Amino acid sequence: MLSNLPGLLNVALCTVIVLTLFFYRRRDSR
């Protein structure tokens, strides 16, 4: 179970970064 943690954290981090960039772009476009 612990060996699967790093991968999960990596996916979560990537998702957060993508969402942040997406929101920033939408705000900047407005």
Handedness of CA 11, 17, 18, 19 (dihedral sign): positive
**Tens digit of pLDDT for each residue in 1-30?**
567 889 999 999 999 999 999 999 998 876
Q: What does the pLDDT read at residue 20?
A: 97
Q: What does the pLDDT read at residue 10?
A: 95
Q: What does the pLDDT read at residue 1?
A: 58
Q: How many domains does the chain have?
A: 1
Q: What does the pLDDT read at residue 5?
A: 87
pTM of the model: 0.60
- Domain of residue 13: give its range: 1-30
Chain Cα centroid distance, residue 9:
10
Residue 7: closest CA among 25, 17, 29, 15? 15
Q: What does the pLDDT read at residue 14?
A: 97
